[in-house]
Amino acid sequence: MQERIRNIAIIAHVDHGKTTLVDAMLKHAGVFRENEAITERVMDSNDLEKERGITILAKNLSVHHGRYKINIVDTPGHADFGGEVERVLKMVDSVLLLVDALDGPMPQTRFVLKKSLDLGLKPIVVINKIDRPGARADEVVDMVFDLFCELNANDEQLDFPIVYTSAKLGFAKLDLASESNSMEPLFAVIESNVHPPAGDSKAPFQLLVTNIDYNDYIGRIATGRIFNGSVKAGETVALVRRDGSVVRSRISKLLGYEGLKQVEIPEACTGDIVTVAGFDEVGIGETLAAADTPVALPYVSIDEPTIAMNFIVNSSPFAGKEGKFVTSRNIRDRLDKELRTNVSLRVEDTGNADTFKVSGRGELHLSILIENMRREGFEMAVSKPEVIMRELDGKKMEPMEYLVVDVPSEFQGSIIEKMGPRKGEMTSMQPMGETVRLEFIVPARGLIGLRGELLTETRGTAVMTHTFHDYAPYKGDIPGRKNGVLIAMENGETTAYSLDALQPRGILFIGPGVEVYGGMIIGQHAKDNDLDVNPCKGKKLTNVRASGSDDAIKLTPPRILTLEQALEFIDDDELVEVTPQSIRLRKKELDPNRRKRK
């Protein structure tokens, strides 16, 4: 059986078509019945993944093709979820590196490829979306080869096989000139180029846990790859923890994968990816081993977080009105639960019992956690994201990001101008038809709030992506937000009459008929200072009528901020109040007199 198993992960930059390729492979392998209703991007299982069209969690499945069993792991494309990719690469023997036939290699392509080359994996390059208008497959292959050379790939890795695909139309071919209407060429390349999993089937049992989950019926379940030996359902095995302690327990359920479904199996052998139930407490990176010879497996190190923010118990006048879970104990328990599965997250206590410092890979990583928590009924306030600095040889070091911006060539000047004050250094500038690709090395601090500015500057046409580059000496101060804010003076309900008078003062974030409280931010001021305003003032009714005072009120639609936009917008003395129904911005100090004193 070991000879017939192939373990592969699909890695790529966001939106290059990983999950769609998995769909096409499942259809070709006959996993779905003829009359079965198939959802698009079947691997994106939770609500947030479906809504945003991105993969957040790495997931595995298996397909049978001829005499081979192919275990496939679909991974996220965003740099913020790099922790998911890093731990998954330990489970597989090769990777499908997916590259868009028009965009070519992007920042995340470089990041995931470097990780897989460092582990000694030999990638198969898949050039996807060859049906796209403007596709330049041959040119992209050259760019991929240059990237391999840049990342110091060895000779064997440089001799990579190439497959051209259109995952959406469901075909693959080994040569652009040949005809094909199925994914068969891709399966043939996988079977001939991916070696069977290494490991000794006669040695004592060892399984490395790379994913954990919870099932209401069978409790905590651990997924991982069997590196040595075999295991049977009902057998007693040992769990070797990170600290070296050993716990023994019986395997209550042994589950394998058939397509997308988990099925009970009596036995599993070396090289297979399985799910095991029977341990109450099990963590990622721990080893399940034979009961009589418990030996731990080495675990891949995960990159450290680069951004932190404070999660604070909500203290606004509206606290507890919309959420179910509002206390510090509720928030702490939920963060502890998240730590079990989210390997690149860190949670620390602060001097204040109501505040927790949460560190992650980026704003998106942390905002997905906040979004999940508010959907579960949590209510809290979060502070502005801060970059985590390091001390090295007495020098202050800060994280740098590798940023790529694709813009129409008419806007390239204004983009370069924007990057100056943010301490960005341009490393490359390549024309791509009507657009230009600009590459920068920029401090992570300089990216906070940048996306909104670039979209405004380029009329919504800029596409920016970034990934962690390295730590470098501190670059000096970066100017923050230029504009002040409009702050409500008192509690009440906003009226169209007062908002109409405030419109010339700046951009409003709320419309009429909205409950506000003193200290809540209701808009962006046109000038650089904060302004206290009264948005709740009603019109005084009199018997006197005048031609000028009864004009119809015309309000500009307010700018409704999403969670990510709100986190980018706030300043050091402000918070985002997050509840299941609302996202509000507020000052940390609600009282205007105390605020002035501070």
Same domain, 163 and 225: no
Beta bridge partners of 380: 313, 578
Rounded CA-CA distance 219/213 in Å is 9
Q: Indicate whether 296 belongs to any domain.
A: no
CATH (domain of 510): 2.40.50.250
pLDDT over threshold 50, residue 529: yes
Q: Among residues 134, 166, 193, which one ends one of the domains?
A: 193
- Residue whose entry in the numeric block shows the structure tokens 């997924």: 223
The answer to whether the annotation marks 456 as part of a ligand binding site is: no
**Whether residue 189 is found in the same domain as residue 54:** yes
Domain with 400 in it: what CATH number? Answer: 3.30.70.240
CA 106 to chain centroid, in Å, comes to 16
Q: Does 501 lie in the same domain as 452?
A: no
User: 20-34, 240-254, 459-473, 575-589: which range is least confident on average?
Assistant: 20-34
E-strand stretches of 389-462:
390-392, 395-408, 425-432, 435-443
Q: Are 565 and 585 contained in the same domain? A: yes
Do 169 and 31 fall into the same domain? yes
Predicted confidence (pLDDT) per residue in 531-559, tens digit: 999 999 888 877 777 666 666 788 889 99
For position 43, what pLDDT does the model report? 47
Please name the residues in contact with 411: beta carbons below 8 A apart, sequence gap of 6 or more.
457, 458, 461, 462
The average confidence (pLDDT) of the chain is 83
pLDDT tens-digit readout, 275-289: 888 887 777 778 888
Residue-wise pLDDT for 121-137, tens only, equals 888 888 888 888 888 88
- Write down which residue in 170, 193, 216 finishes a domain: 193
Question: Which tokens sit at 338?
Answer: 């998240």
74 known member of a binding site: no
- Quote the CA–CA distance of 564 and 367 in Å, as a whole number: 6
- Over residues 284-329, the pLDDT tens digits come to 778 888 888 888 887 766 667 888 999 999 999 998 888 898 899 9
470 is known to lie in a ligand binding site: no
Residues 495 and 535 in one domain: yes
Residue 587 is labelled as binding a ligand: no
Residues 469 and 490 in one domain: no
Q: What is the CATH number of the domain that holds 256?
A: 2.40.30.10
User: Which of 13-17, 40-44, 223-227, 351-355 bottoms out in mean pLDDT, i.e. has the lowest?
Assistant: 40-44
Check residue 361 and give its pLDDT.
Answer: 80
pLDDT of 243 above 50: yes
CA distance linking residue 379 with residue 282, whole number of Å? 29
Residue 548: per-residue pLDDT: 63
134-190: pLDDT as tens digits = 888 888 889 888 888 888 888 888 888 888 888 888 888 888 888 878 888 888 888
* CATH code (residue 83): 3.40.50.300
Taking a C-beta distance cutoff of 8 angstroms, is the pair 385, 363 a contact?
yes
Question: Looking at the domain assignment, is residue 380 inside a domain?
Answer: no
17 is in an annotated binding site: yes
Is there a single domain that holds both residue 21 and residue 125? yes
139 with 244, same domain?
no
Q: Is residue 366 part of a domain?
A: no
> Is residue 358, in this structure, part of any structural domain at all?
no
For 22-56, the pLDDT digits (tens) are 878 878 777 654 444 444 444 445 556 555 556 55
CA angle 18–132–79, rounded 5-degree value: 35
Residue at a domain's end among 163, 193, 223: 193
Has residue 364 been placed in a domain? Answer: no
CB proximity list for 288: less than 8 A, separation 6 or greater: 205, 206, 207, 209, 222, 224, 231, 237, 238, 239, 240, 276, 279
Residue 458 counted as an annotated binding residue:
no
Q: What is the pLDDT of residue 300?
A: 62
Can you give the pLDDT at residue 585?
Answer: 93
75 is known to lie in a ligand binding site: no
- Check residue 550 and give its pLDDT: 62
DSSP string, 273-292: EEEEE--SS--TT-EEEESS
State percent of the chain over pLDDT 70: 91
**pLDDT level of residue 522 (50, 70, 90 thresholds):** very high
Residue range of the domain that includes 440:
390-473
Decide if 500 is inside a domain.
Answer: yes
Judge whether 571 is annotated as a binding position. no
Number of domains in the chain: 4
**Averaged pLDDT for residues 57-73:** 77
Residue 128 counted as an annotated binding residue: yes
Mean pLDDT of 555-577: 89
Interval 66-112: pLDDT, tens: 888 888 887 776 656 666 677 777 778 888 888 888 888 877 777 77
Same domain, 77 and 165: yes
**How many angstroms separate the Cα of 71 from the Cα of each of 25, 36, 141?**
12, 22, 26
Residue 41 lies in a domain: yes
Residues 14 and 91 in one domain: yes
Would the annotation count 16 as a binding residue?
yes
Rounded-to-integer distance, Cα 59 and Cα 492, Å = 48
Same domain, 42 and 140: yes
471's tokens: 């730590």
> What is the Cα–Cα distance from 210 to 190, expressed in whole angstroms?
23
pLDDT in tens, 331-349: 999 998 888 777 778 898 8
pLDDT-derived band of residue 250, with 50, 70 and 90 as boundaries? confident
Q: What is the pLDDT of residue 453?
A: 81
pLDDT at position 242 over 80: no
Determine, yes or no, domain membership for 230: yes
pLDDT tens for each residue of 430-452? 887 788 888 899 998 888 878 87
